[in-house]
Structure 1
Amino acid sequence: MERLRAGRFCAHRASQSFGLPLSDPSPVRLPFRPKQSLGQNFLHDPNMAEKIVGTLEASADAHVVEVGAGTGVLTELLRDRHEHFTALEIDQRAVDVLRETYPDVDVRQEDVLETNWPALAAEHDGPICVISNMPYYLTSELLFALLENRSHVAEAVLTMQKQVAERLVAEPKTKAYGILSVLLQLFARPTLRYSVPPQVFKPQPDVSSAVVRITFGEADGPSDLALDDVRPFVRAAFNQRRKMLRNSLSAWVKEQNVDLPHGWNKKRAEALSPTDFGELARYLTARTDSVEGR
């Protein structure tokens, strides 16, 4: 993700609003033309790049994986700070530029949706740390991939659309609270760190951005539940979020003649906390298994 074409006044206002100085807003030359089909907006501001890389708390000997390395603005900083560093990029043009510019970096042409996360972690005998300025349309897929492989991931620093970032940390009974909120907060620890102005990308995105740091660990999330134990109930509940749970979860509640505890029959999805959804998943799974086992 990356952009710029603002005048000095806009850059000054952005630096005030986002708490850091932006580089001189002179025209930025990219090594190749961004592809709209790949959702490419390349980060070009060195001050913002420093801030994003500084958000990653990985130790110097940790295995850091950059997803969507692009033109290498983060790559240059990461290779100097981490001995074990891998850059993933799907665009052949970017791969060629990265390999020529940083011959000492392990650059791999790879689709993140096909990445073997356990294998990456096994290369250096430990969980990896992920950092990414990915195209916005792939954000959800990357988040779910990291959740599904959370035993192999220690932390992730991700730049994404601000609206999505706000969903990750949203509280119950708010408009932004939804599927991502519940699953991320139940199985990981997301924090919205700061906003990112459009001026630091080329071309400039039409939406605001934000950086989120997510930690994964054994202490995060219920030890007796897997992501797929909870996800069906959360999706069903929020896909009909205006309905009471007795109706949105009718496939379990009515068809299996199961009643919900805590008066949840008459509550909507947005009223339940992530922990509540964990309890709900246990409750419905146990009773559904009991009914099917008769």
Structure 2
Amino acid sequence: MDVKDLLRLLKLYGIRPRKKLSQVFLVNRRVLQSIARLAKRVAEPISRRVYEIGCGPATLTVFLLREGLDVVGIEIDNRFVPLLKMVSREFPLFNPVISDARDAIRTSRAEVVVGNLPYHISSELLLSIARSGAKAAVVTLQREVAERVVARPGTDSFGRLSVIMQLLFRARIELYIPPKYFVPRPEVSSATLVLERIRDFDEHAACVEKVTRCLFSYRNKLASKALRNCFPSTYRILSGEERWRSLRVRDLDPLLFLEIARICAENGEC
């Protein structure tokens, strides 16, 4: 599907992209095919069924279906219903569902998640995927957010999202996608991110969310001072160790945040 094909479809169904839903549609055939093939490689060891977030006009959906994947298409905008029903008639393996993706991820048993994440809630959706039972994801989102996910300790991009996602997944950026490949053209570049589960979301992972929320409000402070302000009981246990007195919050490895979370949990601070 190219720009002309998409514009023709949107005009046929009377659909104008809604900015409040961050509706931008990837239309470059080469990139769509690359993402679909990547999704197939990632999904095949786990499940042939993938849950596509924000399927919209089904530009990616059709390529996923042509790869032989069973697609559950999650779309919040019911204006796309007639178009999606048309696709489902052509492809029996396609099941469109009108729902908020955040609710769908939480309540479904999705093992593999794919799709172009709405930019205004991309971080929120990543955390929803992290908290779910999903074993893998292939998602396209703003380049800046993707780079935060894979950022290393001590870098400007490293933060709360980096810690949580890296504790739970092997994360890598597979593709960079320029704005010209989308309609309407976004103001930022995009990237396709691959996530492969390495740890389930458990009570310690939930505690990491709380720990990072507080500690990263002191990202440039020494870890010992941040711990003292956020978690006094845990600070008293860890304060004798040199590493906490020399490292700043921004320099802590994700596994160190997990260590803090475990001690917080043992001492009733989570």
**Common fold, TM-score beyond 0.5?**
yes
Tell me: higher relative CO, structure 1 or 2? Use CA pairs within 8 A at least 6 residues apart.
1
Is 2:31 the partner of 1:76? no
Instruction: Provide Cα deviations, 1:165-205, integer angstroms capped at 9, x if missing partner.
Output: 11111111111111111111111111111200111101100
Instruction: Provide Cα deviations, 1:11-44, integer angstroms capped at 9, x if missing partner.
Output: xxxxxxxxxxxx9776951512101111100111
Instruction: Provide Cα deviations, 1:23-67, integer angstroms capped at 9, x if missing partner.
Output: 977695151210111110011111111011111121295211111
The letter of the residue matching 2:150 is V
Is 2:225 the partner of 1:247? yes
Aligned ranges 1:1-294 → 2 under 5 Å: 29=7, 30-31=9-10, 32-56=15-39, 57=41, 58-59=43-44, 62-82=48-68, 84-103=70-89, 104=92, 105-117=94-106, 120-121=108-109, 128-149=111-132, 152-216=133-197, 220-221=198-199, 226-249=204-227, 250-253=229-232, 257-260=236-239, 261-286=241-266, 288-289=267-268
Q: RMSD between aligned alpha carbons?
A: 2.5
Contiguous gaps of at least 5 residues in structure 1? 1-22, 122-126
The letter of the residue matching 2:175 is Y
Partner of 1:4: none
The letter of the residue matching 1:208 is S
Q: CA deviation at 1:265?
A: 3.5
The letter of the residue matching 1:62 is R
Moved >6 Å (runs of 4+):
23-27
Confirm or deny: 8 A CA contact 1:222 1:278 kept in the other structure.
no
Structure having the larger proportion of residues in helix: 2
The letter of the residue matching 1:233 is V
The letter of the residue matching 1:115 is A
TM-score normalised by L of structure 1:
0.79
Contiguous gaps of at least 5 residues in structure 2? none
Confirm or deny: 8 A CA contact 2:105 2:129 kept in the other structure.
no
Question: Secondary structure, in 3 states, of the residue corresponding to 2:96?
Answer: strand
Confirm or deny: 8 A CA contact 1:162 1:210 kept in the other structure.
yes
Distance in 2, Cα, partners of 1:255 & 1:133: 40
Confirm or deny: 8 A CA contact 1:173 1:270 kept in the other structure.
yes
Instruction: Provide Cα deviations, 1:65-112, integer angstroms capped at 9, x if missing partner.
Output: 111001111111222334532111011111221112332321110001
